[in-house]
Chains A and B, each alone.
Chain A
């Protein structure tokens, strides 16, 4: 039963992530802003869910499933490596720092709201 809950939550998360990522080509900024915002917002949401939801199944659906599928470490790392290979080292460092600092901060804010 649990695997259905996790899978369904992750599918919704991945779909919304994909819809948002499509916007990246439409914005005139040469920086992976969308993935950055997805990961920060997803961490904030997981903080809120962790603090507010006490039902195990619902937390599995929204936390492990939805937030887990919505946020992504793979795409973030891949974008970092792309910036690195393009020799845009300052952007690479900025993306790294912004993601980790505001991601962790987002979760902490979420859990204390």
Chain B
């Protein structure tokens, strides 16, 4: 556990800076003509998949220090994904009566986010198992 507040802030500054700007860049790159929030969706779904993989596999596999894990998980992936923008997007689609987009967005976020988080855990366990089998063969 990283204790000193100044150090924690610096690590989170680095992680959050990168994570939030990746999300911001995706929202600009994946701009759609009908205003469908594709950028937020991609950021949230990929983040949901990667976080369990980082915590349950990469952390042990590469012996990441608590500083690196804090920077990458709470800082980078925590800021890369966002819940508040999701609620804003949902409201905007509802207000403008884009029912089809709203239904697709809600389904992909609610169902997809959960399934990808499960998948991230299985992916981590699968990789760890592969590493174990490989180490036994040597």
Does B associate with A?
A: yes
A69 to B87, CA, bound (A): 14
Check A10 against B16 for contact (C-beta < 8 Å). Answer: yes
Contact of A73 among B48, B73, B74, B88 (CB under 8 A): B48
> Which residues on B are within 8 Å of A, measured CB to CB?
8-9, 12-13, 15-21, 23-24, 27, 44, 47-48, 50-52, 55, 70, 73-75, 77-88, 90-91, 109-110, 113-114, 116-118, 120-121
Contact of A71 among B15, B82, B90, B113 (CB under 8 A): B82
> Which residues on A are within 8 Å of B, measured CB to CB?
2-3, 6-11, 13-15, 17-18, 21, 39, 42-43, 45-47, 50, 63-65, 67-78, 80-81, 84-85, 96, 99-100, 103-104, 106-108, 111
Check B84 against A78 for contact (C-beta < 8 Å). Answer: no
Interface centre among A42, A63, A72 (most CB of B within 10 A): A72
Contact of A14 among B16, B47, B84 (CB under 8 A): B16
Which applies to chain B's interface (DSSP): helix, strand, loop or mixed?
A: helix
Residues on A with beta carbons closer than 8 Å to the beta carbon of B110: 96, 100
Which applies to chain A's interface (DSSP): helix, strand, loop or mixed?
A: helix
| CB<8 Å pairs between A and B, sample of 17 | A6-B20, A10-B19, A10-B20, A11-B16, A15-B12, A21-B74, A42-B83, A43-B84, A45-B84, A63-B85, A67-B85, A71-B85, A74-B81, A77-B81, A77-B114, A78-B52, A96-B110
